[in-house]
Structure 1
Amino acid sequence: MRVLLVEDEPKLAAFIHKALTEDAFSVVTARDGETALELARSASYDIVILDIMLPRMDGFAVCQAMRALHPDVPILMLSARGMIEDRVRGLDTGADDYLTKPFALSELTARMRALLRRQPTAALKVLTVADLTLDPVRRLVTRGGRQLDLTQKELALLEYLMRNAGQVLTRAMIAEQVWDVTWDRLTNVNDVFINHLRKKLEESGEPRLIHAVRGVGYVMRSDDEGACA
């Protein structure tokens, strides 16, 4: 599940980002409203977590513009302003839910999952590549009926690969979309996680699904035609 987190307070943004990433969400963070809208125009997200008090554009304006771009994406507003007028305004501008700061992380994730369950979108459907399936809501992965025990980071990586099956994904794309970091050519973090994932997917001798494209990145497909490794 891809999350767009719009929060200008660095410590809170880092806290939410870390917690959601550990829960297998793929999180992209924006620190102001204009950046958030740029990200929303260039990619799709399964849910948006939006603070109201933002530089450049406030959350109400961002919410209205976001709703015009993506009418069906759930938006959860965050604010230290607990006045009923603010809640009503947030909901009227297009938010699906409103959470007042300070809040428990468990409540944030519970509200996120509740919003996601209501969405009749392709993002919630079980993903399938050959005999591999991934249920993004239940966080359940099976191959040939065998349930796989994946770490949260492995799960986030696998979901990104499966949602883009057949498409060659560069190492930079994987770093930015899964880890929300700028790719460093000197690091092999992508390759390490790919290798861990491959071992679990092929533990019982199943055919390879994640193929390397030399000098570029990786592609997930159900056959090895044109694959380099």
Structure 2
Amino acid sequence: MRLLLVEDTTELARWLQKALTQAGFVVDWVADGLAADHLLQSEHYELVVLDLSLPRLDGLEVLARLRKRGQSLPVMLLTARGDLQDRVRGLNQGADDYLSKPFDLVELEARIRALLRRSHGQQSQTQVLGELVLFEQGYFHLQDKPLALTPRESSVLTTLMQRRGRPVSRQQLYEQTFTLADEASLESIELYVHRVRKKLAGSNVAIVTLRGLGYSLECQPCG
């Protein structure tokens, strides 16, 4: 598997190139966005590990040009921990995942392999609503931090996220959250909605109750 690493911090880039090569990848490294853009037009890569802060051409512009050309290879963003808006913009422009510096090499390798497994003939399923991100691997981040959810809470939030901005009835949430073997009433779904609401508190994403229709996940406001 041939990867392109785009990182302008020489020490970090050399460390990553060596580690990923030892993990079995063929890794080309460039230190600026313009060089990366040229290589992406002339060479074939399975995946790009892309820093956002780059000389000559920033990472978001590299990503934008890549997607404008119709290239669908997976893109893993590397970002500074505080750059929430850039991460959201990157995901909206077609990035598949991101890691904040500093990060664990084991996690980077695991995420790269997950993206590669999903890349052949599949479109990225990463979804963004305000400060909430649902990755195609099934986990959530809220305000740039992992959001801890129980399996049923995750099911409720995933169902609402996939239909964000549209009403979802209690019956629909119930069917996605419980199985026939579960001894739970329809009203029990309100408990899980309440729990998820509490975990979203303080962000710009909220579960809104729509009388007679159910619930809707909305961003208030969403820029």
Structure 1's unaligned 5+ residue stretches are 122-229
C-alpha displacement at 1:70, in angstroms?
Answer: 4.9
Match of 2:30 in 1: 30
Which protein shows a greater Rg? 2
| Partner Cα distance (2:50, 2:83) in 1 | 17
**Secondary structure of 1:71's aligned partner:** coil
Aligned length, in residue pairs? 122
**Secondary structure of 1:3's aligned partner:** strand
Counterparts of residues 100-119 of structure 1 (less than 5 Å): 100-119=100-119
Q: Contact 1:40–1:69 at 8 Å: present in 2 too?
A: no
**Aligned partner letter, 1:108:** L
Are 1:99 and 2:107 matched, yes or no? no
C-alpha displacement at 1:24, in angstroms?
Answer: 1.1
| Partner Cα distance (1:40, 1:59) in 2 | 13
Q: Contact 2:79–2:87 at 8 Å: present in 1 too?
A: no
Are 1:14 and 2:14 matched, yes or no? yes
Are 1:50 and 2:50 matched, yes or no? yes
Match of 1:120 in 2: 120
Counterparts of residues 1-229 of structure 1 (less than 5 Å): 1-121=1-121
Identity of aligned residues (%): 51
**Aligned partner letter, 2:35:** T
| Partner Cα distance (1:103, 1:7) in 2 | 14
C-alpha displacement at 1:31, in angstroms?
Answer: 0.5
| Partner Cα distance (1:7, 1:81) in 2 | 16
**Secondary structure of 1:41's aligned partner:** helix
Q: Contact 1:37–1:66 at 8 Å: present in 2 too?
A: yes
**Aligned partner letter, 1:66:** L
| Partner Cα distance (1:73, 1:56) in 2 | 22
Specify whether residues 33 and 83 from structure 1 end up closer, same or farther in structure 2 by C-alpha distance, changes over 3 A only: closer
What is the RMSD of the two structures over their aligned residues, measured on CA atoms? 1.6
* Higher relative contact order, structure no. (Cα contacts within 8 Å, ≥ 6 residues apart): 1
| Partner Cα distance (1:70, 1:26) in 2 | 23
| Partner Cα distance (1:73, 1:5) in 2 | 13
Q: Contact 2:50–2:78 at 8 Å: present in 1 too?
A: yes
**Secondary structure of 1:54's aligned partner:** coil
Q: Contact 1:47–1:74 at 8 Å: present in 2 too?
A: yes
C-alpha displacement at 1:119, in angstroms?
Answer: 1.3
> What is the TM-score normalised by the length of structure 1?
0.51
Match of 1:175 in 2: none
| Partner Cα distance (2:20, 2:5) in 1 | 10
Residue deviations 1:38-74 (CA, integer Å, cap 9, x gap): 1111111000000000001111111111223353200
Structure 2's unaligned 5+ residue stretches are 122-223
Match of 1:136 in 2: none
> What is the TM-score normalised by the length of structure 2?
0.52
**Secondary structure of 2:76's aligned partner:** strand
